[in-house]
Amino acid sequence: MSASERPHEVVLFGATGFTGGLTAEYLAEHARPGTEWALAGRSRGKLEALRERLAGINDACSDLALLHADVGEPDSLREVAESARVVITTVGPYVHYGEPLVAACAAAGTDYVDLTGEPEFVDSMWLRHHERAESSGSRIVHCCGFDSIPHDLGAYFTVQQLPEGVPMDLQGVVGAGGTFSGGTYHSAVNAFARVRQTAAAAKQRREREPRPEGRKVKNVRGGVHRDPAGGGWIVPLPTIDPQVVARSARALERYGPDFSYSHSLRLKHLPMVAGLAGGAGAMFALAQLPPTRRLLLKLRSPGEGPTPEQRAKGWFRVRFTGEAGGERVITEVSGGDPGYGETAKMLAESALCLAHDDLPRTAGQLTTAVAMGNPLIDRLQRAGIEFRVIEAAGGR
């Protein structure tokens, strides 16, 4: 069945989890009328309860289709993929539970979005399923939440404010306030425990993935230093985000012949820098041994998350400084609760963008900038996430 003939434009897998439920609520409120979408998961009872809750938001949701899907049952995932134009998944940690759905979507020519921030998973999926997705026409788009939409699309937005065809330097600095869910916590612990596997997958990808001819792209890691502009301290942030920005830069010539990007976190006080480093180091050490790792994982349940009151206090700002051809620009991407309210929004709008918008003809594993670019920025701006130019100086 061709994508246009499939019964569901969007299927949400993992809808009964914490972030999955927020994504379902967002779709119930904001998917355009007539959008054919469905819920998928293991428990029929939980899906029915969620559908009833969504019907309280939007009467049309009382007719949502409920699909059985289980990562341990490949046939169920194949059926879901073959019935949909786009599949959203919130089922993580992705390195443990994500591959069967990626494989099903790559085989079926179905578009796929997730909110992983796990480098090992992204690299492994490129190694195993990118070529199949290219041949089937599937667009596999990872990192469609706070990891890494504000950073990837923010860099893309900034690049478009600068002159073309010249070397370009971008610096991204993140500031955020909010709490995290049990699912995010479990993903972090598992990532700390898999540093060797992460390094091995990255090495294999570097050896196989083509690089652009005649163009250079690099990530630059700075040191800890005071922020001369706004006070506080700037600390290198070794997340997946700079990797995603670099992949967009390699794929798109608009980033120029020589592009560099640095990615940092802004903290108010120096003791916070030491506390962050110490906490991360302790968690890393404890995650290496199975007994202490199990204790860490017991501290929070994967189904836990911040309350609506806590989410209402959340915020994020990512500020970019770009220089190219004698011109300088400062831009900012900002929004509310980064981990959950805005992540659910970003994930849902990514799926709706793939399902409904006029986009470049692409396939394979892609970044949000490459797959969706300006149409997704436009959607996010209409949804309340701000992309703005703060300062521009130069010859244009």
pLDDT higher than 80, residue 117? yes
Query: What is the pLDDT, as a whole number, of residue 219?
Result: 94
Residue position matching structure tokens 């091995």 = 200
Name the percent of the chain lying above pLDDT 90. Answer: 71
- What is the arithmetic mean of pLDDT over 115-131? 96
DSSP secondary structure letter of residue 5: G
Max CA separation in the chain (angstroms): 62
Three-class DSSP category at 87: strand
Whether 114 and 182 map to the same domain: the answer is no
What's the mean per-residue pLDDT of the chain? 91
Whether 64 and 99 map to the same domain: the answer is yes
Within 8 A by CB and 6+ apart from 149, the residues are: 143, 346, 350, 368, 376, 380
Tell me the residue ranges of DSSP E strands in the chain: 8-13, 37-41, 65-68, 84-89, 111-114, 139-141, 168-177, 216-219, 225-226, 233-236, 258-267, 315-324, 327-335, 364-366, 386-393
More confident: 184 or 117: 117
Exposure pattern of 250-277 as b/e (b: 16+ CB <10 Å)?
bbbebbbeebbbbbbbbbeeeeebeeee
- What is the arithmetic mean of pLDDT over 31-59? 97
Distance CA 334, CA 337 (A): 10
Q: What pTM, to 2 d.p., does this model score?
A: 0.93
Whether 295 and 190 map to the same domain: the answer is yes
Distance CA 357, CA 376 (A): 9
Exposure pattern of 178-208 as b/e (b: 16+ CB <10 Å)?
bbbbbbbbbbbbbbbbbeeebeebbeebeee
- What is the arithmetic mean of pLDDT over 233-246? 90
Whether 101 and 193 map to the same domain: the answer is no
Whether 204 and 263 map to the same domain: the answer is yes
Query: How many domains in the chain?
Result: 2
Query: What is the pLDDT, as a whole number, of residue 87?
Result: 98
Query: What is the pLDDT, as a whole number, of residue 305?
Result: 72
Within 8 A by CB and 6+ apart from 72, the residues are: none
Whether 157 and 287 map to the same domain: the answer is yes
Which of 179, 199, 214 has its CA nearest to residue 343?
179
Distance CA 225, CA 169 (A): 19
Distance CA 11, CA 332 (A): 32
pLDDT band for position 180 (cuts 50, 70, 90): low
362 burial level (CB within 10 Å; 0-12, 13-18, 19+)? middle
The CATH number covering residue 346 comes to: 3.40.50.720
- 206 phi and psi angles, rounded to 5 deg: -60, -35
Whether 93 and 226 map to the same domain: the answer is no
Query: What is the pLDDT, as a whole number, of residue 92?
Result: 87
Which of 255, 251, 280, 246 has its CA nearest to residue 265?
280
Which of 251, 255, 263 has its CA nearest to residue 210?
251
pLDDT band for position 292 (cuts 50, 70, 90): confident
Whether 193 and 291 map to the same domain: the answer is yes
- What is the arithmetic mean of pLDDT over 98-123? 97
- What is the arithmetic mean of pLDDT over 180-190? 68
pLDDT band for position 302 (cuts 50, 70, 90): low
- What is the arithmetic mean of pLDDT over 191-207? 92
The CATH number covering residue 176 comes to: 3.30.360
- Cβ distance 297 to 184 under 8 Å? no
**Highest mean predicted confidence (pLDDT) among 89-93, 166-170, 218-222, 268-272:** 166-170
- 68 phi and psi angles, rounded to 5 deg: -80, 130
Whether 196 and 328 map to the same domain: the answer is yes
Query: What is the pLDDT, as a whole number, of residue 228?
Result: 73
Whether 287 and 366 map to the same domain: the answer is no
- What is the arithmetic mean of pLDDT over 365-381? 98
pLDDT higher than 80, residue 247? yes
- What is the arithmetic mean of pLDDT over 95-114? 97
Whether 125 and 163 map to the same domain: the answer is no
Distance CA 218, CA 216 (A): 7
Whether 70 and 89 map to the same domain: the answer is yes
Domain that holds residue 180: 149-338+386-393
pLDDT higher than 70, residue 181? no
pLDDT band for position 243 (cuts 50, 70, 90): very high
Q: For the chain, what percentages of helix, strand and coil (3-state, to nearest 5) are there? A: 45, 25, 30
Within 8 A by CB and 6+ apart from 215, the residues are: 250, 253, 255, 256, 257, 258, 259
- Cβ distance 270 to 233 under 8 Å? yes
Model confidence pLDDT, tens digit, residues 253-288: 999 999 999 999 888 765 666 666 666 667 667 778
DSSP secondary structure letter of residue 160: T
Query: What is the pLDDT, as a whole number, of residue 272?
Result: 63
Distance CA 272, CA 278 (A): 10
